[in-house]
Amino acid sequence: MEFETLVRGYGLIEGPRVDADGNLYFSDVLRGGVYRRTSDGVVETVVPRRRGVGGIALHADGGIVISGRNICHVCDGETRVLFERDDIPGFNDLFTDAQGRIYTGSMLSDPFSTQGERKLGECFRIEAEGSANVLYGEVSLTNGIGFLPDGRTLVHADTARGEILAHELDDAGRASERRVYARVEGGGRAGGPDGLAVDAEGGVWVAVYGAGAVHRYAPDGSLDRDVAIPARAVTSLCFGGADLRDLYVVSADNTDDPAAEGCVFRTRSDIAGLPTPLARI
């Protein structure tokens, strides 16, 4: 795959999401801020200064839902908190289901620390403003989250354990049948699973942080593709474009040009991505 660089000069870019008009939203986790690259290449600030935004969703009423110290909806300069808890210092990646509910993982330990025991987090489904249910726990370092094409199988990256977890949701929305969908290795390079996206054939594409790669795992969990990226700290990815075949990959560095720092790359995929539902809370 050949990649073009759309955005450069940021810190740790996360949370890419493309709207129907081709505008790309992304965050800078360490330096702060949420940004929008318009379809004609202009980068605008949407949310200034906010740090720790690991996930972004588009909202049906306009604006975006973002993670960080809480989960909030930002629209026309107004911020509405959807979920927060005093005992949870932050939330990372997030995703939405067909009903517009929001799924996110709690982050109870410093994601960049390699010392000591990690506090295990949980996966929450936010049902309404201020109302959330715990689906499951025992997530060491929560990252990318999404649904397979059946709309019932939730996949969730646990970076510290090097696994993509899968849970089946029953008719009542309860999670069960936990299994390891895929074990992520760096293909000879150190790395762990970060952000993910699901394609129309049920393949799971995952950014492998530290390994300079994006992996695609087939529906049976086997490694199908190992795509080299011009960055080692590959953090997340998403599909976009009218045919959902534009693949956006974001990073915290650039190995071809270290001065470029965190970048947004784009290429074309032969497999379309799944549409991402809008948040409706």
Q: Give the phi and the psi of residue 259 in degrees, each rounded to 5.
A: -65, -15
Lowest-pLDDT range of 9-23, 26-40, 166-180, 223-237: 166-180
Would you call 95 exposed, middle or buried from its count of C-beta atoms within 10 A (0-12, 13-18, 19+)?
A: buried
Q: Is residue 281 part of a domain?
A: no
Q: Is residue 275 part of a domain?
A: no
Name the token pair of 146.
Answer: 């999404």
Q: Is residue 186 part of a domain?
A: yes
* Domain that residue 231 falls in: 4-268
Express the helix, strand and coil content of the chain in percent, nearest 5 each.
0, 55, 45
Q: What CATH code is carried by the domain that includes residue 220?
A: 2.120.10.30
pLDDT of residue 114: 66
Q: Is residue 38 part of a domain?
A: yes
How confident is the prediction for the chain on average, in pLDDT? 95
Nearest to 35 by CA among 59, 71, 11: 11
DSSP 94-138: EEE-TT--EEEEEE-S-TT--SSPPPPEEEEEEEETTEEEEEEEE
Q: Is residue 279 part of a domain?
A: no
pLDDT of residue 1: 87
CA pair distance 51, 163, nearest whole angstrom: 26
pLDDT of residue 211: 94
- Could you tell me which residues come within 8 angstroms of residue 278 by beta carbon, excluding any fewer than 6 positions away? 57, 58, 59, 60, 96, 100
Q: Is residue 274 part of a domain?
A: no
Mean of pLDDT values over 80-109: 96
Q: Is residue 278 part of a domain?
A: no
Lowest-pLDDT range of 50-59, 102-111, 180-189, 246-255: 180-189
Mean of pLDDT values over 235-261: 98
Tokens 């960049």 found at: 112
With a cut of 80, say whether residue 190 has pLDDT above it. no
pLDDT of residue 186: 63
End-to-end CA distance of the chain: 37
pLDDT of residue 253: 98
Name the token pair of 91.
Answer: 């939330």
How would residue 32 be classed by pLDDT, with cut points 50, 70 and 90? very high
Tokens 């390994």 found at: 211
With a cut of 60, say whether residue 20 has pLDDT above it. yes
CA pair distance 277, 247, nearest whole angstrom: 17
Q: Is residue 277 part of a domain?
A: no
The C-alpha angle 254, 271, 261, rounded to 5 degrees, equals 10
Using only the alpha carbons of the chain, give its radius of gyration: 17
Chain centroid to Cα 183, Å, comes to: 18
Asked if residue 48 lies in contact with residue 86, where contact means CB atoms within 8 angstroms, the answer is: no
CA pair distance 226, 213, nearest whole angstrom: 6
- Could you tell me which residues come within 8 angstroms of residue 10 by beta carbon, excluding any fewer than 6 positions away? 28, 31, 261, 262, 263
pLDDT tens by residue, 100-154: 999 999 988 777 766 667 789 999 999 999 999 999 999 999 999 999 999 999 9
What region does 77 belong to: left with phi over 0, alpha with psi -120 to 50, or beta?
A: left
CA pair distance 163, 157, nearest whole angstrom: 6
If one counts the domains in the chain, the total is 1
